[in-house]
Amino acid sequence: MSAAAEDTVERAVVLLSGGLDSATVLAAAIHAGFECHALSFRYGQRHDAELAAAARVAQALGAASHRVIGIELGSIGGSALTDADIPVPEAPTEGIPATYVPARNSVFLALGMGLAEVLDAGHLFIGVNAVDYSGYPDCRPEFIEAFQALASIATRRAVEGAPLALHAPLIRLTKAEIIRHGVALGVDYGLTVSCYQADETGAACGRCEACRLRRAGFEAAGLPDPTRYRD
């Protein structure tokens, strides 16, 4: 990471959900020498446990700052994650699951792009993953490529010849590879919350799709799972 090794430290914005993937990305970006500004969103999630987890992770890993932007995404509805009338599925589903939040990553990346511009940060990191993922259309490599194309012209930086670089370093890794990578970087996954229906203390249900993917990841990695489960 030659640029970061130079005198002037390069700034990055890192989207941080409080889950396993984005914690790994933050650790990797800090390890690579970036001054990392973490950004989380309060968008009508059913619980605040993941925001509390994001704050713990940002502090533990040494982020330079951590912001939470509120968005009234719940007023749009349409997802089991933001609409209390749609149940969180506990069995694998065909196609795009009910936990998909319409256009969520587009909204989050656009806000991350705005913060990057204000902070004069040239890099934006997101922990999307296209292997052990949940079938969301905005977690695919072609989505990331399209957003990079947008970022290359959408901002003041772009007009001035220094467009934002979008990084999705986990996109082709399995969950087990992500976990091994993070453990090697010193991430304490006990601080993170992946569960779609964690309780207020962050304890996981162990049954939803996010819990299943996470548990299977630790098993495949051959590493102990530090997740606190409710039952």
Q: Which residues bind a second copy (CB under 8 A)?
A: 67, 69-73, 75-78, 96, 100-107, 109-111, 113-115, 117-118, 137-138, 140, 142-143, 146-147, 149-150, 152-156, 158-159
For the CB of residue 4, give the shortest distance to a second copy in the complex, in Å: 23
Cβ closest to a second copy, residue 135 vs residue 206: 135
Min separation Cβ 104 and a second copy, Å: 7
What SS3 state is found at 113? helix
Nearer to a second copy, 117 or 199 (CB): 117
Q: How far is the CB of 176 from a second copy (least distance, A)?
A: 26
Closest CB to a second copy among 80 and 187? 80
Nearer to a second copy, 1 or 118 (CB): 118
How large is the angle between the packed helices 141-151 and 104-119, nearest 10 degrees? Answer: 40
Closest approach of a second copy to the CB of residue 2, in Å: 28
Rounded (10°) CA dihedral 29, 26, 67, 159 = 40
Nearest CA-CA partner of 43 in 102, 125, 126, 115: 102
For 34-63, give the DSSP string.
-EEEEEEEESS-S-SHHHHHHHHHHHHHT-
Tell me the backbone φ, ψ of residue 15, rounded to 5 degrees: -70, 125
> Rounded to the nearest whole angstrom, what is the least distance from the CB of residue 43 to a second copy in the complex?
10
Q: What are the backbone dihedrals phi and psi of residue 120, each rounded to the nearest 5 degrees, phi first?
A: 55, 45
Nearer to a second copy, 154 or 203 (CB): 154
